[in-house]
């Protein structure tokens, strides 16, 4: 069993982000207060903290012809769950930073990936490997 990670991120609009993580990403809400909310983020603990003057810095790194936002976080899903989430995000008119696509098709490490931002511009990447045994393959 993999131990869950804990990640806390800043947001300005707690309610808008609460709705996004709960309703768009289907994360179960846990404990909360007036200025933070815990979520079950695909088996991991994500906490959004309200920070009035938060302004994320826009940094990217060129990877395979895309400008990948840095920092970013997300989860490696099963192949099927990734496609279900991609379809759900498309149906909810999510604006993608990098639209759902397949990288390294037919090669070692073949993976599905997509990047998008939460309502406060925190960058997320969700990916899936065609063959999970290749997660750390060289």
- Angstrom distance (rounded) from CA 91 to CA 85: 10
User: What average pLDDT score do residues 1-6 get?
Assistant: 90
Examine residue 113 and state whether it is found in any structural domain, yes or no.
yes
Predicted local distance difference test score (pLDDT) of residue 44: 97
Parent domain of 23: 6-50
User: What average pLDDT score do residues 77-88 get?
Assistant: 97
For the chain, the domain total comes to 2
Predicted local distance difference test score (pLDDT) of residue 66: 82
For residues 93 and 123, state if they share a domain: yes
pLDDT band at 80 (very low <50, low <70, confident <90, very high): very high
For residues 44 and 64, state if they share a domain: no
pLDDT band at 113 (very low <50, low <70, confident <90, very high): very high
Dihedral pair phi/psi, residue 31, rounded to 5°: -65, 160
Examine residue 55 and state whether it is found in any structural domain, yes or no.
no
pLDDT band at 126 (very low <50, low <70, confident <90, very high): very high
Examine residue 29 and state whether it is found in any structural domain, yes or no.
yes
Helix locations, the chain, DSSP H? 14-19, 79-91
């Amino acid at each position: 069993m993999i131990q869950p990670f804990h990640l806390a991120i800043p947001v300005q609009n707690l309610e808008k982000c609460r709705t996004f993580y709960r309703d768009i990403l289907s994360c179960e809400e846990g404990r909360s207060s007036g200025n933070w909310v815990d979520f079950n983020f695909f088996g991991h603990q994500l906490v959004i903290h309200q920070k009035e003057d938060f302004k994320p810095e826009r940094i990217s790194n060129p990877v395979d012809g895309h400008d990948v936002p840095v920092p970013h976080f997300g989860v490696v899903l099963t192949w099927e769950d990734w496609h279900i989430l991609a379809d759900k995000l498309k149906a909810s008119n999510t604006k993608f930073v990098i639209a759902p696509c397949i990288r390294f098709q037919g090669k070692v490490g073949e993976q599905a990936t997509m990047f998008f931002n939460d309502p406060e511009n925190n960058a997320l990447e969700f990916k899936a490997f065609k063959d999970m045994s290749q997660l750390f393959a060289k």
